[in-house]
Amino acid sequence: MIQIGQTHISLEHREIRSHGESVRLGSRAFDILELLIAAQGALVSKEAIMRRVWPDTIVEENNLQVHVATIRKALGADRDRIVTVPGRGYRMTGVTMAGSSAPVDPGECALVTHWSNTHNLPLHMSALVGRQGTVADVLDAIEPAQIVTLVGSGGIGKTRLAVEAARRMLPRFPDGVVFVSLAPVSDPQFALDALATALGMKMSSCGLSLAHIAHEMRGKRLLIVLDNCEHVVDAAAAMAEVLAAAGDGMRVLATSREALRARDEVVYPVPSLEVPSPENPSDDVLQTSAVQLFLSRARAADPQFSSDERSIFLIGEVCRHLDGIPLAIELAAARAAVLGIEVLAARLDDRLRILSGGCRTALPRHQTLKATLDWSYRLLDESERAILRWLGMFVDAFTFDSACHVGAQLGLTKADVMNALGGLVSKSLVIRADCSTSPRYRLLETTRAYALQQLDDNGERGGAALAHAKSFCERFRRTQHDPAITSLHDGLADFTRELGNVRAALDWAFSATGDQIVGVELASIAVPYLFDLSLVDECRSRARVALDADVSTLPVEVRLRLTTSLAAVRALMGDPEAKIATADDEDCRPACIGA
């Protein structure tokens, strides 16, 4: 029984009594009270309380204030034991065991600890390749910080990195290193059970609570690794905060596809492995960590695996197309050991189907590349799923405005797109392509392949492709009247950044399932830029395809731009018959400048 002044609280029975009389307190208010007690006088942030008490609901701060006021009313004369820290949160003072003047000792009635191991880290893990610098970064991060979260996309190697870092930190933590796997936890309410089990705790006379576990940790120098937090992120954040508050010697190292957003958390984005650039010679390719991992895993499966110059070049190509993601590379290496690198490289466009056959003892979502992405996709809300699918149409980076144009076709407002895009970035499914004041974003190639597959599965490919093409028509129409674009160089630079997307949009527009009207409009905008970029063959080809399109009515200015560019190309190539079309020419027909 816990005592606060004249108020007695039973955490086991969730009951409050004052002067012998039962006091009514709602379930959420009691959750807040229990969290404040668990912190043992430490500050509990407003964000931590709202994550714990309303894990699946967005609530206003005044909702929290109403519940705190209810708790104070229940405490009566001891209402001032809840101290408000303006702008930050709350803390509880003067908590003792009933009949004692000593601070509360939740451990006396709740748990029996049988923790005798130095650590319970997974054994027999494969050799860590190309991560020496990354491990050093993690060790540096966790020295001053009590909570460090390794964040990254599925298969990036967060667990393997955390285990290696924890193993190297064993001498720093005399009370041990505890690995808590949250992957098997299907419901957030059972996350606490996983923590207690990993710590070797078992139930005694009272129910399990975070307060009891935190009490057991007081005064210890212990590292707790919370692995695979993304599907129970609110529970994981609450555990991390309370464990860190148990003492200066406590450290929490978490892995998740998104940040926990716990107080004082340090987030470390786990990078991909280094991949070779297309022009790298074979000797340089061998120095990249992605290729080293590929060769290591391929030779483990087939000691005779080829490493001639052609094979090394293809391995580099495969690793680059897999974005340096370790899981994808390991799956690819296993396939290459059976099929050969030539066959694998030729079929990489079908990566979601062929990259399977992972370790039988691995988590199911780590046995195929598609399963890994399925796991991440299921954790998204509906808006995030929809915008991710439609962003798959962008072959290169894209802007927020482009995402908004696509989102509008889905009925999403700018605020909706902002929230969805922010969620995708935080969940490591979209990455920032640069750090400018107007950032561009992109999907990793593997994520993009998955998004396109989801588009097909949902029957949305045509609509998304049309929205993608129209977004560039609209964008470059605006650019032509944008006062910020003050020179030809600025306009070309903007167009060059989008060249890959424009090419993809034009290819779709003039395909059998495309929209030729949109294609002609986009081509009329693009071909003058192509000419100015000295891409004369492409300029001529794109203009001719647009002029030959089966479009009944074509605005004069559109036809003029196309025919003028064609004439300019022919003049550049020395054709004496080339002639610049004008609006006075008969229908501005392309025949006026020849084929």
Give CA angle at 131 (130, 136), nearest 5°. Answer: 145
Which residue is listed with tokens 């903007």?
494
Burial call 533-549: b when 16+ CB within 10 Å, e when fewer: eebbebbbebbbbbbee
Q: Residue 236 corresponds to which tokens in the numbers above?
A: 């994981």
Alpha-carbon distance of 228 to 209, in angstroms, equals 21
Q: Are 424 and 383 in contact (CB under 8 A)?
A: no
Alpha-carbon distance of 547 to 390, in angstroms, equals 29
Q: Residue 193 corresponds to which tokens in the numbers above?
A: 């059970």
Alpha-carbon distance of 500 to 511, in angstroms, equals 17
Percent of the chain with pLDDT over 90: 42
Average pLDDT of the segment spanning 483-497: 72
Q: Where is pLDDT greater, at 488 or 369?
A: 369
Average pLDDT, the chain: 83
The lowest-confidence range among 173-177, 272-276, 539-543, 559-563 is 559-563
* DSSP assignment of 535-581: -HHHHHHHHHHHHTS--S---HHHHHHHHHHHHHHHHHTT-TT----
| Beta-strand pair 89-92/82-85 | antiparallel
Q: Are 395 and 506 in contact (CB under 8 A)?
A: no
Which residue is listed with tokens 């280094």?
274
Q: Are 351 and 450 in contact (CB under 8 A)?
A: no
Alpha-carbon distance of 362 to 301, in angstroms, equals 17
Structure confidence at residue 592 as a pLDDT band (50, 70, 90)? very low
pLDDT at 441 over 90: yes
* DSSP assignment of 251-266: EEEEEESS----TTEE
Q: Residue 433 corresponds to which tokens in the numbers above?
A: 């392509």
Q: Residue 560 corresponds to which tokens in the numbers above?
A: 């003029």
* CA terminus-to-terminus distance, the chain: 93
pLDDT at 114 over 60: no
pLDDT, one tens digit per residue, over 506-517 is 999 999 999 999
pLDDT, one tens digit per residue, over 144-172 is 999 999 999 988 999 999 999 999 999 99
Q: Where is pLDDT greater, at 359 or 455?
A: 455
The lowest-confidence range among 34-38, 183-187, 350-354, 494-498 is 350-354
pLDDT at 486 over 60: no
pLDDT, one tens digit per residue, over 533-564 is 989 889 889 988 988 887 766 677 777 778 88
In order of 131, 199, 452, 481, the CA distances from 141 in angstroms are 15, 24, 37, 48
* DSSP assignment of 393-417: T-SS-EEHHHHHHHHHHTT--HHHH
> Dihedral (C-alpha) 227, 229, 230, 233: value to the nearest 10 degrees?
-170
Q: Please report which residue ranges of 143-279 form alpha helices under DSSP H.
A: 158-168, 191-198, 210-217, 233-245
| CATH T-level assignment (fold) for domain 2-104 | Arc Repressor Mutant, subunit A (1.10.10)
| Beta-strand pair 250-256/147-151 | parallel
The lowest-confidence range among 209-223, 250-264, 456-470, 571-585 is 571-585
Other residues' Cβ atoms within 10 Å of the Cβ of residue 472:
23
Which residue is listed with tokens 């555990």?
239
Which among 142, 128, 394, 162 has a CA at the least distance from the CA of 273?
Answer: 128
In order of 234, 365, 576, 594, the CA distances from 579 in angstroms are 69, 62, 8, 9
Q: Residue 594 corresponds to which tokens in the numbers above?
A: 């020849």
Q: Residue 331 corresponds to which tokens in the numbers above?
A: 């799956």
Q: Are 403 and 395 in contact (CB under 8 A)?
A: no
Q: Residue 389 corresponds to which tokens in the numbers above?
A: 């699918």
Structure confidence at residue 207 as a pLDDT band (50, 70, 90)? low
Alpha-carbon distance of 345 to 466, in angstroms, equals 30
Q: Are 181 and 120 in contact (CB under 8 A)?
A: no
Q: What CATH class has 132-269?
A: alpha beta
Structure confidence at residue 362 as a pLDDT band (50, 70, 90)? low
